[in-house]
Every structure is written in structure tokens, then in C-alpha cells.
Amino acid sequence: MKDPVTFYPGAEGDQADADSGDLSILRSRSSRRAFIKGVIASGAVAGSATFLFGCTSDRPAAGSVERLLSLNINGKVRRVDVLPNETLAMTLRYKLGLTGTKLSCDRGECGACTVVIDGVSTYSCSTLTHMVGDRQVRTIEGLEGPNGELHPVQQAMIDELGPQCGFCTPGQIMSAVALLEANPNPSREEVRHAMSGNLCRCGAYDHYLNSVMRAAQGV
């Protein structure tokens, strides 16, 4: 409840001065509010103009990364829109449709996502696509011959009954291909060491070793 107002004769002038002061404060607040509204309105107009007329720079903003990349995949240059934190496994599977590269542990432990980059077997789940650059990437799809024939390692896997469930097989094959391209005549122990980064939940390790040795001997 407000206090009662007492009227004193002769205080009209003081009241008028007070009212004048209050009015100036209201005008000041009103002008501030109008200024802020004007700034917001001008920003909205500028944003709308950029949206409607495309008044943006073709260059990425400072500190950002170029999202549209050219990747050399299986001997072909592919243009793809890539997020800054996107892994090569995600790009291959969900952007390029190369689902032969399996995504299993997603933390560089099982080897199911193995691809070959410039001749080196690499976990694609722990490789950022933006770090690939212009290097040559090969996936299991890139091993097919010109007439659809299988790669010698793939054929050896069939002959030696290497795959069981088959989920880890693409990664096993890519590791074997990288090994045989670097060392065409490895010992069984060298094969075992080169394939140690590829896990098989079925436990078919001897079958995979036999397959790689068979491919190396050209049987």
C-alpha cells in the first residue's frame, strides 16, 4: 500500500520541476530503447540481404576449415562435403557409400576399418578426413580388377576358408595387401606381425595366416 500524499501550498513549482525531471528520464530511456531497436533492426536487414542476395565471401572464415574436399579414393577424385571432426571411416561409409570399410570399435583397436593410404595400412576410424589431403586412399572396393576379378589375396582368403563371420575380413585383406606390396615374400612370422593389428572375434587367425602365405606364393 502506497503512503498517503500530503499537499503543501506553494510546492507546485517543486512538483513541476520533479515532473520535468521524470519526463527527461523517460525521454532518455525511450531514446536508448529506440537506439537498441534500431541496431537490432539494421542487423536483421543486413542478415536478410546476405540471405537473399548471397553477399558472402567465397573464402572460408578465419580459423575455419574448407568443407568441400577433393579426395583420391581408389584412383578417382571424389568431391565430398566433410565436417571438421569427421573421420575417414564416416566419410567413406556415409558420404561415398563405400561400405566395405567396416566400422566396429570406432577407437583404433580392432582393425575392421583398415584402408591403405599411400601404401600404408591405416585405421580409418582414427584418421580425420581433413588430414588425408591429396594422398591416395584404397578401400576393399578398389581391389577389384578391370573385369571384376578378385585380388589374389581375396581369392586366397576363399581358398583357405579365411573368413568366418566376415566382419573383420575387409580390414584383414587390406592389411595383407599393404604387407605383400611392401614385402612380396614374407615369412609366416612377418605376416603374423603385420596382421597383429586386426582382431578376429571368430578366432580364425591361422586361416588368415594361411591365406596370406598362399597369396604370397602365388598358388
Residues 136-186 pLDDT 10s: 999 999 999 999 999 999 999 999 999 999 999 999 999 999 999 999 999
- 58: Cβ contacts below 8 Å, ≥ 6 apart: none
Average pLDDT, the chain: 83
Tell me which residue range forms the domain holding 97: 68-217
CB 202 within 8 A of CB 165: yes
CB 170 within 8 A of CB 205: no
Domain count, the chain: 1
- Residue 142's pLDDT is 97
Per residue in 69-107, pLDDT (tens digit) is 999 999 999 999 999 999 999 999 999 999 999 999 999
Cell 577433393, residue located? 70
3-state secondary structure of 164: coil
- Residue 86's pLDDT is 97
> Which range is least confidently modeled, 12-21, 151-160, 203-212?
12-21
- Residue 66's pLDDT is 79
CB atoms inside a 10 Å sphere around CB 89: 24
- Residue 87's pLDDT is 98
- 203: Cβ contacts below 8 Å, ≥ 6 apart: none
Cell 533492426, residue located? 41
Residue 15 lies in a domain: no
pTM score over 0.85: no
Residue 11 lies in a domain: no
CATH label of the domain that carries residue 168: 3.10.20.30
SS (H, E, C) 27-54: HHHHHHHHHHHHHHHHHHHHHHHHHHHC
Pick 68 or 39 by higher pLDDT: 68
Residue 51 lies in a domain: no
- Residue 42's pLDDT is 59
Residue 100 lies in a domain: yes
- 91: Cβ contacts below 8 Å, ≥ 6 apart: 71, 80, 82, 129
Residue 22 lies in a domain: no
- Residue 43's pLDDT is 55
CB atoms inside a 10 Å sphere around CB 164: 15
Residue 14 lies in a domain: no
- Residue 219's pLDDT is 56
Residue 6 lies in a domain: no
- Residue 65's pLDDT is 64
Pick 18 or 197 by higher pLDDT: 197
> What would the grid cell of residue 114 be?
583398415
- Residue 218's pLDDT is 82
Question: What number is the average pLDDT over the span 106-126?
Answer: 97
141 to each of 73, 101, 207, how far by Cα in Å?
Answer: 10, 9, 22
Helix (H) or strand (E) segment spanning residue 57: none
Residue 16 lies in a domain: no
